[in-house]
Amino acid sequence: MRHDSGLVVETRDHVRLLTLDRPERRNALSSALQADLVEELLTAGSDGTRVVVLAGNGPAFCAGFDLKEIRAADDRGEPFRPPMERPGRSLFEVVTECPVPVIAAITGAAVAGGFELALAADLRVAAPGVPMGLPEAKIGMGANFGSVVLPKRIPMGVALEMLYTGAYVDSDVLERWGLVNRLAPREEVLDTALAIAATIAGNAPVSVRRMKQTAVKGLELPLWQALRLDVGPNPYTSEDRKEGIAAQLDKRAPRWTGR
């Protein structure tokens, strides 16, 4: 299915592939494209989806917000509303709060809001030599999400240098810093991301969802509080826990129900 915004939606078993398909605009995040992404992400997990993969068609993963759309609004005299002051949900927040794992498959440049979209994902697979960064300081924008999240993903000094200078850093370097999970040849990036997604989707969905919520919400809590978090579905009391043990002992593939 292809939305008018340029978002292509595919379902492969329990994996939902969301492809930004505006190559002529370097997959810039127009308002319509953001809205469609939010809608697809909000329904993930309630329809049998166990993993979401984000990809971009063409030479760029995503070049960030659609600057032509923003300038047109400026020319009309419309006041600019920062991302956190809009009536709709922030796309990046929705990605981080998606109940199922999200993997970014990055074959081309991921800059500005496109880099923030990749930052919001749980895992990142990228081609070598892909430029990534936050050039917002060069154009007077704010990179609010990136300013908060990037220092949590890589060492503070490196993050601040990227934010202050607006310089791009290659995916090879960011892989060494742990931000990129896997490097793969450009033509193999999507297949690699989908293979990881298939592995995750083959595991107990209740367990995976619990792990994501516990890891994300417990990250900055003191250890004693994080250990007592009770978030998301409880795998210990699920039907899938019984099925998983039975399948292990019977030496067969488990039949997960997500309950």
* Residues classed as catalytic: 116, 136
Distance CA 150, CA 201 (A): 27
**38 three-state secondary structure:** helix
Residue 70 C-beta-side C-alpha neighbours within 13 Å: 13
Residues listed for the chain: 259
How far apart (Å, rounded) are the C-alpha atoms in residues 30 and 148?
Answer: 23
- Residue 172 near residue 154 (C-beta atoms within 8 A): no
Going by their DSSP bridges, the two strands 102-106 and 123-126 should be labelled as parallel
Using only C-alpha atoms, the chain has a radius of gyration, in whole angstroms, of: 19
Distance CA 138, CA 147 (A): 15
What is the Cα–Cα distance from 106 to 154, expressed in whole angstroms? 18
CA-nearest of 21, 19, 28 to 6 is 21
Q: Can you tell me the distance from the alpha carbon of 188 to that of 200, in angstroms, rounded to the nearest whole number? A: 18
DSSP 59: S
Q: Residues 235, 207: contact at Cβ < 8 Å?
A: yes
